[in-house]
């Protein structure tokens, strides 16, 4: 096997990661959310399809975008079964319908690997989902939280026959998680920043480094909303591993894939996007390179529940995580909070 040092190199591509760990793809049933050409989800489907997975489940909002990817990938692996599932993460009704479709589909006997990849970023004005949840939090976290828990029987089914730690749930987070903790007392971002407990206030210094000036008297701010949703995604991985690893052997990672120019940035104003792109142009990676961290998290079985990996471009955050990034009191509240908000399913 090729040296793992190559996997951690800044120039490493998802294609090369898949080649190195191809045995972890062959014959597996893999689910990916957020499928479109020119996005991480679509790119991962194309990369994985070249290594003969048994089933690729594509879950996304637009059927035509999934069909486009499937038609391109079929010739690479004619033995692979492709299952498109309509999934609108902003609607819990859609999430429940998508999960029910998966649970009742005889082609999907189990799910070995989940990539919760879909996301939305920097909506200029605050929007609420049909359930009344701030839209970035609804799509980036709550939708995935509900979806993952509803399809858990198929994930557990895979874990029963897999080596401990090889059945995985990968939550694609972002370095944007450093912008804000989860505002547990203000999920919808109704309140001003300064009115929140200190542990829930934005990371003003981190935002300033990207040119974002945040007024303590403001409430909704697109990067803050995005940041708290991505922090929640990391905390979700912490909770999943703490609840599922010892009992079922299921492991979850939250990760930062790198700075990538995709449709995710479509809500940024042109001037704002140009400024950020110029400031951080040395950090941007290609779409193929952007898949490397997600694929390594899913396929490299040497990564265990106590790993923390970073090479300057990418980070994998599992059950032990930098206290600077996520204050311990916030983690404890998430893990020991009340009611269904912290249930694994």
Nearest alpha-carbon partner for 166 in 322, 308, 29? 29
* Rounded CA separation 60/224 (Å): 25
* Rounded CA separation 17/294 (Å): 10
* Rounded CA separation 96/69 (Å): 24
DSSP summary character for residue 134: B
Residue with tokens 């999430």: 95
Quick count: other Cβ atoms within 10 Å of Cβ 132? 8
Active-site entry in 173, 237, 294, 315: 173
DSSP helix/strand/coil, 105: coil
Question: Active-site residue 173, yes or no?
Answer: yes
H or E element at residue 66: helix 63-73
DSSP summary character for residue 301: T
DSSP strands (E only) in 184-260: 250-256, 259-260
Question: Three-state SS string across 215-237, please?
Answer: CCCCCCCHHHHHHHHHHHHHHHH
Residue with tokens 């799509």: 139
| Cβ 55 vs Cβ 81: under 8 Å | yes
Catalytic residues: 173
């Amino acid at each position: 096997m090729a040296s793992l040092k190559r996997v951690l190199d800044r120039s490493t591509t998802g294609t090369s990661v898949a080649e190195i760990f191809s045995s972890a793809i062959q014959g597996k049933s893999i689910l990916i959310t957020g499928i479109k050409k020119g996005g991480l989800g679509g790119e991962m489907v194309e990369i994985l399809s070249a290594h003969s997975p048994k089933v690729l489940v594509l879950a996304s909002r637009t059927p035509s975008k999934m069909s486009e990817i499937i038609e391109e990938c079929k010739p690479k692996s004619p033995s692979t079964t492709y299952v498109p599932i309509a999934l609108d993460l902003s609607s819990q009704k859609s999430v429940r319908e998508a999960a029910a479709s998966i649970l009742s589909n005889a082609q999907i006997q189990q799910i070995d690997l989940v990539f919760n990849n879909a996301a939305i970023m920097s909506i200029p004005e605050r929007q609420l989902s049909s359930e009344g949840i701030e839209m970035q939090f609804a799509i980036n976290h709550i939708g995935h939280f509900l979806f993952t828990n509803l399809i858990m029987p198929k994930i557990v089914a895979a874990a029963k026959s897999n080596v401990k730690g090889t059945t995985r749930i990968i939550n694609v987070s972002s370095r944007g998680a450093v912008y804000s903790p989860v505002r547990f007392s203000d999920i919808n971002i109704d309140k001003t920043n300064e009115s929140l407990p200190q542990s829930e206030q934005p990371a003003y210094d981190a935002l300033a480094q990207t040119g974002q000036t945040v007024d303590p008297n403001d409430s909704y701010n697109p990067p803050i909303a995005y940041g708290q949703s991505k922090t929640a995604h990391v905390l979700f991985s912490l909770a999943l591993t703490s609840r599922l690893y010892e009992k079922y052997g299921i492991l979850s990672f939250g990760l930062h894939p790198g700075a990538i120019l995709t449709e995710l940035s479509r809500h940024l104003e042109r001037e704002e996007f140009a400024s950020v792109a110029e400031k951080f142009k040395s950090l941007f990676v290609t779409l193929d390179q952007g898949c490397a961290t997600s694929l390594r998290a899913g396929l490299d079985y040497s990564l265990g529940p106590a790993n923390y990996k970073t090479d300057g471009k990418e980070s994998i955050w599992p059950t032990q995580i930098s206290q600077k990034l996520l204050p311990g009191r916030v983690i404890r509240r998430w893990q020991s909070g009340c009611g269904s908000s912290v249930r694994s399913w």
